[in-house]
Structure 1
Amino acid sequence: MKHDGYNEFRQRGRFDFPIEFHHVDRHHPRFYMPYHWHMEYEIDLVVRGSVTLTLNESQVHAEAGDIIFIRDGVVHGGHPETTDTIYDCIVFDMKKMLAGSHTFQDRIEDVLKHVTLINKYLPASTPDIPRLIQHLFRSMKEEHTGYELVVTGLLYTFFGFIFQQGLYHEAASLPLREHRRKRITQLKQTFQLIDSQYQQPLTLTDLAQAANLSPNYFCRFFQKITHHSPIDYLNRYRIEMACLKLTHTNDSITEIAFSCGFNDVSYFIRLFRRYKETSPRKYKQLMKEGK
C-alpha cells in the first residue's frame, strides 16, 4: 500500500475511475502501516495471517478472510501480526463512483454524511460479502476488458448487502461526535509534524506541543490510541521512510540514516534490525531482486 504522507490528498486511480488496488506482503515498503488518513473510503481484505489496525480510537484485529471498512477522514494504521501476512486493499472516491440520481441515493448520502456508519469489522463468516470482495479485488488486479463496470457493480452490491444485513449503525450524538473529533484533530496535528519534520531532531515536547497537550498527558493519550509510545512511533515512522529510500534511491546506508532523522548510523542499523528483522543492506538487496 503506497502512502504519500499522513494526509493523502491525491488523485486515486483515474479521474473517471477513482479507485486504487494495492497488494501488500512483507516485501512491500509499507508492510507496516504508519498512521495516516485520506478523504476516500478504504476496504481491506486479509488474505493470509492477521493484522491489528487502529481506526481513530478503536482497535480491530482481523485474520484471513476478514474485511475492514474504513470511512473517509479516519486516522488509521497498524501492523501485521506475522511476517507471512498478506493483505489487499482498495481506496476509492465513493462520492464520485456511487453518488448520483439513483433510487438509493439517500442511503449513499447518509453514509457520505456520516449519519449512517458502516461496521468497521466484517468477519469472514459474514454471508456473501467476503466472496464479493474477493471477486472485486480480483477484477481490480486482473483489469480485464470491462472491469470498471464489474467493479462499480460490485461496489453497489457490497453496500446493498450491508444495508440488507443491517451491518451499520447510526452515528453518535453531536456533542459526543464533536468531543471525539477534537481528540482526533489533536492526534492528526502530531502526525502532520512527524510527516513534515521526521528528518529533523524531534523531542517528546515537540510532539506534545503539536497536539497542544502537556508531555505527560500526551504520552498517555498517544499510547492509548496508537498502542505505541510517541518516540517509539517516531522511530518506526523513520524506519518506514528509510525503507522507501532503500527501495527507490541509490543513496548509501549512511545517507539514508541521516536523511531520516538519525544522527548515529549504528543506532539506525540496530533499530532497523529490530523492526524489520534484517539489516538495511539485506533489505535493499531483497527489494532490488524483487522477492
Structure 2
Amino acid sequence: MSERRLPWWRILAHNPVTVAAVIVLLLVLIAALAGPALAPYGVNATDVSRALQPPSAQHWFGTDEIGRDIFSRVLAGTRVSMQVALLSVAFSLTVGVTIGVVAGYVGGLVDTVLMRLVDVLFAFPVVLLALAIIAILGPGLWTTTVAVGVVYTPIFARVSRASTLSVGVEPFVQVSRTMGTGHGFILLRRILPNISGPIVVQTSVSLAFAILSEATLSFLGLGIQPPQPSWGRMIFDAQAYLFQSWWMSVFPGAAIFVTVLGFNLLGDGLRDIIDPRQRSLMETRIRR
C-alpha cells in the first residue's frame, strides 16, 4: 500500500531556504504596499544642507546629492519595481500561455505560424528588444511594463507548448477527444491543470528577471523617469558619487539583489513541491 502524500505546506516547512525566501518576499510586498506610510520622509523632499550624509539615526540609508532620504526612496522604488514585475509577468503569462497551449493543442499550420512568430521575438536579445519597444513608445512606467511583458512572452509560450504536447498524448486527453468533448473544456479542465507546475515555476523565475530588466532599463535612462524613484535609476544617479558616497548605490543594489534572490529561491522551492520526482525525494527525506 502506497504512503499518503504529504501536504505541500509540510514539504515547504522542511525547506528553510524556501521559507526564508517567502519571508523576504512578504517583507518586500509589505514595503511595496505600505511604503508611503513607512517612509520617514517625503520621497522627493530635499534638504541641500544634509546632502551626501552617511547612514545615521536620522537617515538610516543616508542621503543623496540633494539631501533626499535614500531609505524613503528605496521603499518607494519597491512599489515601482514590484508593480512593473507583477504586471509585466501577468501580461506575458496570459499571452504566452494562450499562444503555447493553442499551438500545442491544435498543431499543424497553427502551431507552425505561432511558433515562428515566437522565434522572431526570441531572435532579439532581451535588452535590445525592450529598448526597441521603448524607443517606439517612449520611456515611462507603463511603457517599461509593456516592454518587459513582451520580452518574456516567448518564454511562457515555449514552456506551455512543450507541456501541452506532453500532456496532449495522455490517455485521459485522448479519451476526451474521442468522446467529442468540447475543445474549451479539454483545454481548461484537462490541459491547463496538468501543465500548471512548469508555468508556476517559470512565473517565479520571470518575476526575478523582470525586476532585473526594469532596473537595467531605468539605469540606462529609458525606464522609470525622475522624479519617480526606481532602484535602477537610483544606481544611475549614484555613479558620480560611487567612491565618496557608497551608500547611494549599495542600498538600492542590495534591494535588487535580495528581491531577485528571493524569487529565484522561491522558484526552486516550488519545483520541489510541484515536480513529482523532486516531491518524492523530499517526502522520503521528511519521513526518515
Q: Is TM (by shorter chain) over 0.5?
A: no
Higher relative contact order (CA 8 A, sep 6+): 2
Instruction: Please identify which structure carries the higher strand content.
Output: 1
TM-score (norm 2): 0.24
Greater gyration radius: 2
